[in-house]
Amino acid sequence: NTGVMCVGSDLLRQLLPKIGKNNAQEEYYLTDLISLVRVEGKAVVTSAPASWLEIEGINTRAQLAALERAHQKRIAESLMAEGVSFADPARFDCRGSLSTGTDVFIDINSVFEGDVQLGSGAFIGPNCHIANASIGEGVVVKANTVIEGTRDAPVMLANDVQVGPFARLREGTRLAAGVRIGNFVETKKSQLGAGSKANHLAYLGDADIGAGVNIGAGTITCNYDGVNKHRTEIEDGAFIGSNSSLVAPLSIGKDATVGAGSTIAKTVPPESLSVARGAQRNIQGWKRPQKKSPEGK
């Protein structure tokens, strides 16, 4: 049984020594205070909880899980009243503070932690984990995306950003309006200007990227030298070819182009092409190694 009492401390000190154990179990019952208070001529006022869930006992893991589901149902119902649609409100978890605009859609198995804001018209796909993030209006977060900001360095997405599927946005990521982050792209302590895109297979750490920049598949900002982290700056309109390694500290100028497969470790001037890779060789008549047959066969 669950019960809650509110008693003045002076009266409690006076009456506690008077509680006896004259009962079948020979135990002390705090509820005996009620009769003792009446004997003292004091008023006893009862109050019923708004819901039985407020006083439900928990003695097993199954009971704890059931009560957690009831709590999550309450949160989901409150959000739906504010204009949120769920694919299935029974498959949703809010483990912090979630505030939303109108016409937000949340698909199944999405988990929200810390302080999260979702702008009007935001779409959250299935199996997403979002922590400490501000997500603007019309943002699309596709399936299996992880957004893991911190209280000191939240992730911030401006309006009409698209992220995922299978993307990871870490602490300090800031994406301006219309940015596209695609599958298997990871960002950390980086900002991307309006309309920039990294659609496939990239790591952008400690980077300041301007507007209208294209990041090719396989691009990596090499930000760690084994001791310290260094930043990469990519100015507006730059084009980074696929499979490029950008060795920080590094600056790439406005409208510059980095050729695919390059390892860039020096400043790239604006409106220039930078290529740093070995020359291609074609060997005519080359034979691939063949497996040797076992002896006797």
Dihedral, CA of residue 163, residue 166, residue 167 and residue 171, to nearest 10: 120
Spatial distance between the Cα atoms of 98 and 117, rounded to a whole number of angstroms: 6
280, exposed or middle or buried, with CB in 10 Å at 0-12, 13-18, 19+?
Answer: exposed
Structure tokens at 224: 């760690």
Q: Is 71 a catalytic residue?
A: no
* Cβ count within 10 A of residue 260: 15
* Cβ count within 10 A of residue 289: 5
Spatial distance between the Cα atoms of 155 and 6, rounded to a whole number of angstroms: 44
| Residue 74 per-residue DSSP state | H
Q: Where are the beta strands (DSSP E) in 23-118?
A: 84-86, 92-94, 97-100, 104-106, 110-118
100 within 8 A of 118, measured Cβ to Cβ: yes
Catalytic residue among 71, 129, 200, 230: 200
Residue 44: C-alpha distances to residues 28, 36, 219 (Å): 20, 10, 72
CB burial of 100-109 (b: ≥16 within 10 Å; e: otherwise) equals: bbeebebbbb
Residues involved in catalysis: 200
